[in-house]
Structure 1
């Protein structure tokens, strides 16, 4: 909505002859409303950065849009569906499309209620209402992993047992949720042991999915959580909170979590930010996160009522979305970060050991994805990068610190060689086309030749060279092994359907093919290529 308002304002300002007035208007509103809303003045620099960036982007969109409208008009005009498509794909309002069309001597009719049509198009059918999972006929499970996140073994009693799944009176196994994978491990009872292959929470009951035998209701069991997996997940979950906190510290309070996933060896955090993350910003984020790790900040957890949590921490507490429960579990790194979170964490930041950023990318407009590894996996990632760098430097024959410049030089030379090869290929195609005998069939200059074992790409270049001349038709073939390939193409002025002709010719020799009226290709046995070219010649004449 903010983007729509800004872009509409830009257009209106252009209409009244003050196209550059928007930044001054926004500054005036910030000054006027900051007494009531002091956060406007606190975020003045960020707001103006976003406004100026949006103006630049919209101007670029308009320039691209002018060319897009021209192509649309040339390819058949702009109807209601095309208007909707231009708005959805290019961000071009119908009034702008109409103006561009007028510049080019065309009139566009904008339907009444256009933006209602846009809304209907995006809303589509009625949304499917998700049903709550069916209730499990078992007592609620006591979540012991919240009482002691360092503990890995426990005793319990089976409350439900059926079809490879059990529920227990209490458990240390964390169920999948909040972007964190579930714990795995084993369940022991009597002389039996079964693997826990998945853990899910349905309502207030934690279901443990077992591989192998399952204990019966009422049996005493012992559960052992996979320590390496839990530790990896916990480190990456706490590291995710630190990355988000560092992003808000460095980029600004506008940063919000748009998504997150935690795995045993890596994690990703999607954040809202209007610009791409530069190398400098990425390095700054990584450094800040590792400083927080080394500072050994405690990580605390506590349950609050929703009202108390809102009162103490405010809406920024809900980075991962509003909780479904009345009581809110707050994971806090005092002075650094506080979030409503149901996941497992380490007890202090120093237990993360290190964080290594792996990559960043823009996954959609205004959302940046940061992928990283923590703990021993961060060290492994750094070692892997070092090994790749050393291998690259060795292949280039230079010291490591000279690898980037050597690679740049190599890429530049490769581009120059590719350009030279392309130029030589064109010269070769031109030479070969001039060497071909031409047969005049009415007003058509007909070229036909079997190129033997020539590369198919070379044949295509030759065909393009021939058909660049008005009134030309080219039928060329080549072979690879026992398979023959035939190409038939024409220049625009030739009134023939290459697809129909080639299909008939190849069918007559046991092959197949087809294409457009201007270009077609197909295949047949190698020993039938000559017959196929002769058939094309006969069909043309």
Structure 2
């Protein structure tokens, strides 16, 4: 550790309390202790001493320990905050909430946004999947844990720093009966989420129970501090980032064999009983892991994560399938939903919101279980095909089998003997835990004033050219102000024209680059001032579609459930599409209800408010629901609100009143990927045009069949039924012909069938017999076709014959040795081509027999 950082840990508090600084003889770390001891007190330097010999004045459970912590810091001037979701909606760099400080990164820790309270205290459910293979086996690892933290953000004025933090920790531990001589403080360094700083690891009985981080660094390539291989520079804000392990503190005061026995004893007892009180260590490890995973799922699914093949949904599915594999390993036939419901029952006192979504969670787990076992049956066949010409499977392919097809390594091992990496699940989780970085694009120093926010209904404007040049080979300009909306937030860019006297330039696209708007032109520009005019018809159509997107999102949430979350959107002047997270296909009845609700909102003529708001104020008022379209950057957020219906942080263009939309028409749905449904719709004039087009199609179809539109479904069904009946009759007729009565000639011992218009099933039936050739012609549309086929015992090459006669038909031919086709537009030569095929077949027979 850098000596400058180490100084932060040389606290007067330690000296006043009689702590002595020593160096651990095993790991070499420095630590502070009241006892004369040579080891730091951290595992593996020392063994656990609290098992069967609990620390503290009483045995705490999760609820009582959480309340003891929160109350202690409330009584010491901290504001208690409610937990954040375990899915990090406010961040674009990670999917899951991994610590209490993650709630405030990056906007608060960077100083861009003030904290929601200062100082504050919170108990934050957190999820980390980097040590999955240790869960259940180590006795202490968890996928989901509560990180209790008290935080102070020292920016322009000091709240408190290192001395007070250590004292608070000391006093809190004393308040729950942990003797001061049983505690040691180990010096270390910490990094995470782009920040770093020196820290104290708080140890008792060989167990790390808290970490006191003094966050004073931010990642910087030119920083002078090197922390865990990365460069950091000092930041203005100094953050007290503490993390107390709720589950570990409970374990410490209970002294049970494992943390699992301490934190969910009822679940462990139930699983043991169902498994017949197993003695095998591996079975117990599996039961412990299942208990952990199902609690993790209660929060993941309860907070709205929908299992899928991407992002947070992928991680939820990973945990579900790992839990199912472990249950199978322990020979337990218990639905996951049963275990998750048991967790929800015990958690609902402190987390009542989990109870609200229990039925949805149950249905999701039932569907996921069904998918998993369906995958297993297909998986073996896929692996068997892969291994046909191979002797081994590399680890990368093993991960691909799981990543792409959902095939767990245990199933692969049933097909081929392989060594499964112990950390296989962690390797998979690591690949999907961090969001992909978005490449920084070229930015410009110029700034364009965005007129479309101030004057959303304006069509023309005057501006000055402040930059001109080429971008990716295209002519472009930056104006000092513009009405052209740049592509973004799923909305297509405006198009239009720039004018100067008699000159005219077409604006084909607008793009945002930093604070500048690039206008892509059809030719170079030389003037300094211009008059701009946007394509208003296109813009207004997009305004309608963007407002409709918000309305459809709100309507889908009301009809389908609170888990509905925008997973993406795209809109232009013709139609819009909204992707939402949902665990099953949207039914036709549900779609009708969504459309009905959306149009109810349109008819009510609700105001669409657009205004700017500070991030911290917006989050406090509306919560993270704001971030339907993703978390925007910056302190100031543009809010689009339809009162009592929907509110989102959105930079798009919108109408002023929902009545302007006229009506919204949903035109279809599709499954974009597992766990994501796409709703396609149009609004305003485009909705009218769509309905008119559908009416025309209906009328045209009715005219063709000479029936009223109301009779069309019944008539189409009648024709379809008749067509199926006739087709069956034709097939039967062809098969009857195949048994005898066919037009044919005998050539030696070979029967050459020359019946025309034979369907494939009849040809297959005929050539299944010995010593048979079929040469059948058919006129299809504006082309002639000839099929040449033979039984396996006939020594001719049908492909070569097809190739030759295809040329005669003005086309081509080919296929396999025993069946081929030729075709071409020269129908007049069809009979000649057929005769040539017959002659070629005879010539090949003479040569080969």
TM-score in same-fold range (> 0.5): yes
* Aligned position for 1:134: 442
Answering whether residue 726 of structure 2 is matched by residue 448 of structure 1, we say no
Answering whether residue 369 of structure 2 is matched by residue 58 of structure 1, we say no
Q: Distance in 2 between matches of 1:78 and 1:508?
A: 46
* Aligned positions of 1:268-283 closer than 5 A: 268-283=577-592
* Aligned position for 2:131: none
Match of 2:775 among 472, 476, 495: 476
* Aligned position for 1:533: 841
* Aligned position for 1:9: 323
CA contact (8 A) 1:473 1:489 kept: yes
| Residues 59/412 of structure 1: CA separation in 2 closer, same or farther (3 Å cut) | farther
Secondary structure at the residue paired with 2:738? helix
* Aligned position for 1:104: none
Q: Distance in 2 between matches of 1:505 and 1:118?
A: 57
Answering whether residue 458 of structure 2 is matched by residue 151 of structure 1, we say yes
* Aligned positions of 1:114-263 closer than 5 A: 116=424, 131-136=439-444, 139-162=446-469, 164-211=475-522, 214-217=525-528, 219=529, 221-263=530-572
Answering whether residue 671 of structure 2 is matched by residue 370 of structure 1, we say no
* Aligned positions of 1:380-529 closer than 5 A: 380-431=689-740, 436-437=745-746, 439-440=748-749, 446-448=750-752, 454-455=756-757, 458=759, 460-469=760-769, 471-474=770-773, 476=775, 478=777, 485=786, 487-491=788-792, 494=793, 502-503=799-800, 515-516=815-816, 518-521=818-821, 526=833, 528-529=836-837
Secondary structure at the residue paired with 1:194? strand
Question: How far did residue 276 of structure 1 move?
Answer: 1.0
* Aligned position for 1:93: 408
Secondary structure at the residue paired with 1:200? strand
Question: How far did residue 436 of structure 1 move?
Answer: 4.8
Q: Which is worse superposed, 11-20 or 420-429? A: 11-20
Question: How far did residue 272 of structure 1 move?
Answer: 0.9
Secondary structure at the residue paired with 1:314? helix
* Aligned position for 1:310: 619
| Residues 513/209 of structure 1: CA separation in 2 closer, same or farther (3 Å cut) | closer
Secondary structure at the residue paired with 2:555? helix
CA contact (8 A) 2:783 2:823 kept: no
Q: Distance in 2 between matches of 1:190 and 1:144?
A: 22
Give structure 1 stretches of 5+ with no counterpart: 100-106, 441-445
| Residues 162/514 of structure 1: CA separation in 2 closer, same or farther (3 Å cut) | closer
| Residues 426/20 of structure 1: CA separation in 2 closer, same or farther (3 Å cut) | farther
Q: Deviations over 1:394-453 (max 9, x none)?
A: 44444433433333333233222222222222222333569553644xxxxx333555xx
Q: Distance in 2 between matches of 1:33 and 1:26?
A: 10
| Residues 56/150 of structure 1: CA separation in 2 closer, same or farther (3 Å cut) | same
Question: How far did residue 41 of structure 1 move?
Answer: 0.8
Report the aligned-residue RMSD: 3.9
* Aligned position for 1:338: 647
Secondary structure at the residue paired with 1:431? coil
Question: How far did residue 536 of structure 1 move?
Answer: 1.9
Q: Distance in 2 between matches of 1:333 and 1:246?
A: 12
Q: Distance in 1 between matches of 2:490 and 2:783?
A: 54
Q: Distance in 1 between matches of 2:356 and 2:785?
A: 71
Q: Distance in 1 between matches of 2:581 and 2:531?
A: 44
Q: Which is worse superposed, 185-194 or 46-55? A: 185-194
| Residues 193/257 of structure 1: CA separation in 2 closer, same or farther (3 Å cut) | same
CA contact (8 A) 2:745 2:751 kept: yes
Secondary structure at the residue paired with 2:574? coil
| Residues 84/522 of structure 1: CA separation in 2 closer, same or farther (3 Å cut) | farther
| Residues 65/112 of structure 1: CA separation in 2 closer, same or farther (3 Å cut) | closer
- Specify the structure having the higher radius of gyration (Cα): 2
CA contact (8 A) 1:133 1:202 kept: yes
Q: Deviations over 1:168-210 (max 9, x none)?
A: 1111111111111112222232343333222222222112233
Q: Deviations over 1:317-336 (max 9, x none)?
A: 11112224443222122221
Q: Which is worse superposed, 21-30 or 388-397? A: 388-397
CA contact (8 A) 2:607 2:657 kept: yes
Question: How far did residue 291 of structure 1 move?
Answer: 1.0
CA contact (8 A) 2:802 2:822 kept: no
| Residues 130/538 of structure 1: CA separation in 2 closer, same or farther (3 Å cut) | farther
Q: Distance in 2 between matches of 1:348 and 1:78?
A: 66
Secondary structure at the residue paired with 2:492? coil
Q: Deviations over 1:39-82 (max 9, x none)?
A: 2111112111211222333344455567x479859988996489
CA contact (8 A) 1:237 1:345 kept: yes
Question: How far did residue 26 of structure 1 move?
Answer: 1.7
Give structure 2 stretches of 5+ with no counterpart: 1-314, 825-831
Per the normalisation by structure 1, the TM-score is 0.82
